Amino acid sequence: MSCASLFVYLSETLFAFIRSVSRRRPCGGGIHSRSRFALCLAVFAGISGSVSAADLSVGPVQVEASIPYPEKMTFIGLSQSIELAASMGLAASAVTRGEVKRFVHDAASQRRNLAPLAVFVREEFSDAIRGKGFTPEDDSTTDNRFRLAVRKYGFGMAELVSRDVRPLMTLYAELVTPENKVLWSHEAAVRSDDKSLPSILPEDLRNNPDEQEMLLRAAAHRASEKLMEDYGKKEQKAEDREKDRELKARAEDAEGAR
C-alpha cells in the first residue's frame, strides 16, 4: 500500500471510529464535538508531518474550477466605525451611513452582470502560483491539484469614518494528491485596511460595475499571494527537515566508521 493510500485509509478509519463511539453514547457520554475536532487535528498533524520537500515541489498542477463562495457579498465595519467615532467625539451622520450602505448594496445587486466570482478567483490564483513556479493544467488526471473556497468577500471601510471602501476577501486553499492526501492547506484574509489595495467611493462602485470586479480581482490576487507566502514557508521547513536528517545520518555514519 502506498503512503498516500495508507493516509486515506487511516483517516477514514479514524473518522468512522469517532462517529461510531459518539452514536453509541448519545446521553452525554460520547466524545464532545470539540474533542473530536481536536483529536482529528492531532492525528492529521502527525500524519501531515511526513510531507516531504519533494511532495511540495513545484511543477504541473491543476486548479479545480469548482470554488464554493457565499451567496451574498459582505459589507463590514461601517456601523462599528460610526459607534467608535461617536465615542471619540467625531461627527458621522446617519445620512452618510445610509448612503454608503445603499450604494454598496446596489453594487452587490449588479454582481449577476459581472464575471462569476469563482471564475476570476481561479484566474487570479492561477496567476499567483505561476509566479511561484507551478504550471496550471486543465486536463491532467495524474497531477496534484489545488482546491479553493472563498469564505468571505465584499467591501469594508477603508479608514475610520471614511466614505471610501476597499475590497476584502478570505480565501482558503489546499493542495491534494490524486489520492486525496492533503499536502498543504492555509487560509488567507485580505482586510479592507490593506493599503496595498485601491479604495473607491461607494457611488463610484454603484455607477461602474466593472470597478467592482477589478477591485475584487485585486483582493483575490492579494489573498493568493499571501497563500503562496505560507506555501513557501512550509516548503522551506520541509527542506530544512530533510537537510537536518541528512546531516544526522552522515554524523551517525562517521561515528560508526570510527
pLDDT digits (tens, 9 = 90+) for 79-136: 544 444 444 344 444 444 555 556 555 555 555 556 789 999 999 999 999 998 999 9
Cell of 89: 467625539
Contact 221, 130 (CB under 8 A): no
Cell of 72: 451574498
Q: What is the mean pLDDT of the chain?
A: 74
172 and 70 fall within a common domain = yes
12 and 93 fall within a common domain = no
Does pLDDT of 214 surpass 70? Answer: yes
153 and 209 fall within a common domain = yes
16 and 112 fall within a common domain = no
- Give dist(CA 146, CA 131) in Å, integer: 15
Total tally of structural domains belonging to the chain: 2
- Position 33 in a domain: yes
> Can you tell me whether residue 135 is helix, strand or coil?
strand
Kindly give, in sequence order, each residue whose CB lies less than 8 Å from that of residue 178, ignoring residues fewer than 6 positions away: 4, 141, 142, 143, 144, 145
The domain that holds 85 is classified in CATH as 3.30.160.150
Per-residue confidence (pLDDT) for residue 110, from 0 to 100: 56
Per-residue confidence (pLDDT) for residue 112, from 0 to 100: 54
Contact 192, 145 (CB under 8 A): no
Instruction: Report how far apart, in Å, the C-alpha atoms of 146 and of each of 66, 179, 182, 239 are.
Output: 11, 13, 10, 21
pLDDT band for 55, please (50, 70, 90 cuts): confident
95 and 42 fall within a common domain = no
Q: Alpha-carbon dihedral of residues 105, 111, 112, 113, nearest 10 degrees?
A: 110
Cell of 199: 479604495
Burial of residue 131 (number of CB atoms within 10 Å: 0-12, 13-18, 19+): exposed
Give the H or E element holding residue 213: helix 209-257
206 and 93 fall within a common domain = yes
**Global confidence as pTM:** 0.67
Q: Lowest mean pLDDT of 49-58, 183-192, 229-238, name the range.
A: 49-58
**Domain containing 76: what range?**
60-242
- Position 54 in a domain: no
Contact 122, 46 (CB under 8 A): no
> Can you tell me whether residue 55 is helix, strand or coil?
coil
Does pLDDT of 221 surpass 80? Answer: yes
121 and 38 fall within a common domain = no
> Can you tell me whether residue 2 is helix, strand or coil?
coil
- Position 220 in a domain: yes
177 and 221 fall within a common domain = yes
Q: Mean pLDDT, to the nearest integer, of 187-205?
A: 90
69 and 110 fall within a common domain = yes
Per-residue confidence (pLDDT) for residue 47, from 0 to 100: 42
